[in-house]
């Protein structure tokens, strides 16, 4: 065994490396990176080691739709401190990387959020490694499918918007739009500038989605929710998503947004590699607080659901490990596939080869799960943090 540059090992009886399970394995670490995975029995006695007596080590989760956490809503406070607090709050749910998400809002809020991401990524705070870029969800949405996005924040996409969005090429940027709200050529321009464009909050017909796909649209945000449904003579956005052989499909598996049978159907249509889990978490996640405000409106958690005054769903009250547990225990998907849906696939979507797996060259971003699929510890860049049971 070549132990060059290896400075320590993490030993565990069960490990999932992102592809397959291993028994009695050790991860060899050098700084914040994984050097190799080897049998525990092959370790030299002089190598420092950390033994995990119980549970399973899995790749840290990558959540591409995080609106808030720890009592903070990103739209309400698009700042550096908010980003770091939200990212840190999600670690207790096994999430070691997030794409902070801004809902439809005024241009100054969106710009402030992007500036905050840039500042965080240029800084040296250890938690900054958890902030991968920015997900802008709106404001170019159909009013008929706006959900809890405030109607007066929705608008058409102007040339000034396109110019600003194209200027975000230094960030990983995911933009969710309603294709029917975009002018011909706008999606192509954004994609050519490096923006990843998904469809969501859309009432588009099937042909409109196909035209957007030809311009570069490559995925769908919270499949089944806030989009035109699959009907016999009009497949709509949902039908276009399920039919696709190449597009990414994000889904909220919290027991409220999508029926288990619909999740199973989506997984069968997508096959292995394209359906990924998102939390769509709001401010209450990771906090004892059970309400927050959005657009000045009170959003409350009731029986595990976040709802506005009209009783409409307003994001979710879960972290990503909750979605993994739900998909395995309730939906019935294999545990290894559920773990990939929360780590490997979203990392692959972003083109991030350093996350979503526990093999040579990966960041040592790791979650420790017990048999009940709750998180007891995470490692971010090889640094361990123990977690109490999630509130």
| DSSP state letters, 138-187 | -SS--GGG-TTS-GGG--PPPHHHHHHHHGGGGSEEEEEE-GGGSPTTHH
Query: Positive or negative CA dihedral for 213, 216, 219, 221?
Result: negative
For residue 209, give the DSSP letter. Answer: H
Strands of the chain, DSSP E: 8-16, 21-30, 33-39, 49-59, 61-66, 68-69, 72-73, 95-103, 133-137, 172-177, 196-199, 219-220, 248-252, 275-278, 291-294, 297-302, 305-307, 366-369, 375-380, 383-386
Note the Cα 229 to chain centre separation in Å. 23
Residues 53, 55: Cα–Cα separation, whole Å: 7
CA 36 to each of CA 17, 186, 358, 367: distance values in angstroms, whole numbers, following the listed order: 11, 44, 8, 17
Residues 386, 389: Cα–Cα separation, whole Å: 10
Return the closest-CA partner of residue 253 out of 141, 149, 329, 344: 329
Whether 280 is catalytic is yes
Residues 358, 56: Cα–Cα separation, whole Å: 12
Residues 386, 152: Cα–Cα separation, whole Å: 43
Out of 63, 203, 254, 280, the active site residue is 280
State whether residue 367 is helix, strand or coil: strand
Residues 376, 268: Cα–Cα separation, whole Å: 31
How many Cβ atoms are within 10 Å of 229's Cβ, its own excluded? 11
Task: Note whether 355 and 362 are within 8 A (CB).
Answer: yes
Residues 133, 135: Cα–Cα separation, whole Å: 7
CA 247 to each of CA 97, 207, 213: distance values in angstroms, whole numbers, following the listed order: 22, 16, 9
Task: Note whether 260 and 332 are within 8 A (CB).
Answer: yes
| Active-site residue list | 280
């Amino acid at each position: 065994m070549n132990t060059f540059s290896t400075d320590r090992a993490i030993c565990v009886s069960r490990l999932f490396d992102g592809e397959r399970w291993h028994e009695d394995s050790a991860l060899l670490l050098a700084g914040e990176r994984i050097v190799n995975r080897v049998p525990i029995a092959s370790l030299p006695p002089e190598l420092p080691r950390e033994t995990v007596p119980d549970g399973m080590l899995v790749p840290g989760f990558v959540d591409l739709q995080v609106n808030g956490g720890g009592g903070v809503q990103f739209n309400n406070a698009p700042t550096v401190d908010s980003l770091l607090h939200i990212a840190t709050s999600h670690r207790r749910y096994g999430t070691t990387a997030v794409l902070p998400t801004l809902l439809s809002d005024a241009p100054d809020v969106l710009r402030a959020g992007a500036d905050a991401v840039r500042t965080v990524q240029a800084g040296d705070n250890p938690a900054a490694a958890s902030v991968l870029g920015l997900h802008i969800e709106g404001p170019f949405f159909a009013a008929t499918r706006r959900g809890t996005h405030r109607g007066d924040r929705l608008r058409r996409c102007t040339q000034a918007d396109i110019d600003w969005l194209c200027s975000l090429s230094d960030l990983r940027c995911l933009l969710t739009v309603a294709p029917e709200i975009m002018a011909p050529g706008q999606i192509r321009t954004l994609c050519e500038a490096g923006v990843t464009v998904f469809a969501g909050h859309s009432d588009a017909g099937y042909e409109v989605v196909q035209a957007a796909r030809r311009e570069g649209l490559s995925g769908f945000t919270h499949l089944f929710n806030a989009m035109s449904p699959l009907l016999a003579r009009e497949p709509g956005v949902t039908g276009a998503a399920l039919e696709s052989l190449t597009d990414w499909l994000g889904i909220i598996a919290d027991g409220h947004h999508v029926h288990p049978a619909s999740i199973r159907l989506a997984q069968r249509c997508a096959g292995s590699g394209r359906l990924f889990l998102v939390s769509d978490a709001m401010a209450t996640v990771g906090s004892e607080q059970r309400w927050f405000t959005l657009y000045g409106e009170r959003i409350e958690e009731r029986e595990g659901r976040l709802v506005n005054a009209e009783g409409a769903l307003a994001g979710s009250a879960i972290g990503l490990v909750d979605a993994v547990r739900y998909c395995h225990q309730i939906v019935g998907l294999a545990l290894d596939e559920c773990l990939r849906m929360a780590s490997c696939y979203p990392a692959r979507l972003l083109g991030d080869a350093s996350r979503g797996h526990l093999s040579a060259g990966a960041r040592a971003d790791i979650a420790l799960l017990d048999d009940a699929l709750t998180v007891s510890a995470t490692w971010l860049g090889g640094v361990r943090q123990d977690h109490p049971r999630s509130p």
